[in-house]
Structure 1
Amino acid sequence: MTQVLLVEDDDVIREATQLALERAGFRVATAADGLAGLAQFRAQPPDVALLDVMLPGLNGVSLCRRIREESRTPVLMVSARDDSVDVVLGLEAGADDYVTKPFDTAVLIARIQAVLRRSGWSGPEEDAFVRFGDLEIDRAGLDVRRAGQPVDLTPTELRLLLRFAESPGTVLSRDTLLASVWDYAWGGDTRVVDVHVQRLRVKIGQERLQTVRGFGYKLRAEP
Structure 2
Amino acid sequence: MCALILVAEDDENQAELVRRYLKQDHHTVILAADGRAAIEEARKHLPALVVLDVMLPKVGGLDVCRILRAESDVRVLMLTARSTEDDMLLGLDLGADDYMTKPFSPRELVARVRTLLRRAEQVTIPPDPLLRAGPLAVDPVRHEVTVRGRPVECTPGEFRLLETMAAELDRVFTREQLLERMHGFDRYITGRTIDAHVKNLRRKIEADSRNPVHLVTVYGVGYKLTGGRADAP
Aligned to 1:91: 92
Aligned to 1:26: 27
Aligned to 1:64: 65
Aligned to 2:209: none
- Given that 1:53 and 1:61 are in contact with CA atoms closer than 8 Å, whether structure 2 keeps it comes out as yes
The CA deviation at 1:183 is: 5.8
In 2 relative to 1, CA 20–183 (structure 1 residues): closer, same or farther, beyond 3 Å?
Answer: closer
Asked if residue 102 in structure 1 is aligned to residue 103 in structure 2, the reply is yes
Asked if residue 48 in structure 1 is aligned to residue 53 in structure 2, the reply is no
Q: What SS does the aligned partner of 2:77 have?
A: strand
TM-score normalised by length of structure 1: 0.55
Aligned to 2:77: 76
Asked if residue 181 in structure 1 is aligned to residue 186 in structure 2, the reply is yes
Q: Could you tell me which amino acid in structure 2 is paired with residue 12 of structure 1?
A: N
In 2 relative to 1, CA 35–114 (structure 1 residues): closer, same or farther, beyond 3 Å?
Answer: same
The CA deviation at 1:16 is: 1.1
CA distance in 1, matches of 2:17, 2:76: 19
The CA deviation at 1:121 is: 6.0
- Given that 2:5 and 2:50 are in contact with CA atoms closer than 8 Å, whether structure 1 keeps it comes out as yes
Q: Could you tell me which amino acid in structure 1 is paired with residue 117 of structure 2?
A: L
In 2 relative to 1, CA 112–18 (structure 1 residues): closer, same or farther, beyond 3 Å?
Answer: same
Over the aligned positions, Cα root-mean-square deviation in angstroms equals 2.2
Aligned to 1:16: 17
The CA deviation at 1:180 is: 5.5
Correspondences of 1:152-163 after superposition (within 5 Å): none
Structure 2 unaligned regions, length at least 5? 124-175, 177-183, 193-233
Q: Could you tell me which amino acid in structure 2 is paired with residue 25 of structure 1?
A: H
Provide, for residues 166-198 of structure 1, a one-character-per-residue CA deviation record: whole Å limited to 9, x for no partner.
xxxxxxxxxxxxx953461589xxxxxxxxxxx
- Given that 2:108 and 2:188 are in contact with CA atoms closer than 8 Å, whether structure 1 keeps it comes out as no
Q: What SS does the aligned partner of 1:181 have?
A: coil
- Given that 1:52 and 1:77 are in contact with CA atoms closer than 8 Å, whether structure 2 keeps it comes out as yes
Q: What SS does the aligned partner of 1:102 have?
A: coil
CA distance in 2, matches of 1:180, 1:5: 24
Provide, for residues 114-164 of structure 1, a one-character-per-residue CA deviation record: whole Å limited to 9, x for no partner.
112222269xxxxxxxxxxxxxxxxxxxxxxxxxxxxxxxxx9xxxxxxxx
Tell me which stretches of 4 or more aligned residues in structure 1 moved more than 6 Å.
none
Q: What SS does the aligned partner of 2:6 have?
A: strand
Residue-pair matches, total = 132
Structure 1 unaligned regions, length at least 5? 123-155, 157-178, 188-223
Provide, for residues 70-95 of structure 1, a one-character-per-residue CA deviation record: whole Å limited to 9, x for no partner.
10011010011101111111110100
Correspondences of 1:69-218 after superposition (within 5 Å): 69-120=70-121, 181-182=186-187, 184-185=189-190
Answer with 1 or 2: which has the greater Rg. Answer: 1
Q: Could you tell me which amino acid in structure 2 is paired with residue 69 of structure 1?
A: A
Provide, for residues 56-114 of structure 1, a one-character-per-residue CA deviation record: whole Å limited to 9, x for no partner.
11111100000001100110100111011111111101000011111111111111111
CA distance in 1, matches of 2:103, 2:186: 22
CA distance in 2, matches of 1:62, 1:81: 16
Q: Could you tell me which amino acid in structure 1 is paired with residue 186 of structure 2?
A: V
- Given that 1:77 and 1:90 are in contact with CA atoms closer than 8 Å, whether structure 2 keeps it comes out as yes
The CA deviation at 1:20 is: 1.2
TM-score normalised by length of structure 2: 0.53
Asked if residue 4 in structure 1 is aligned to residue 1 in structure 2, the reply is no
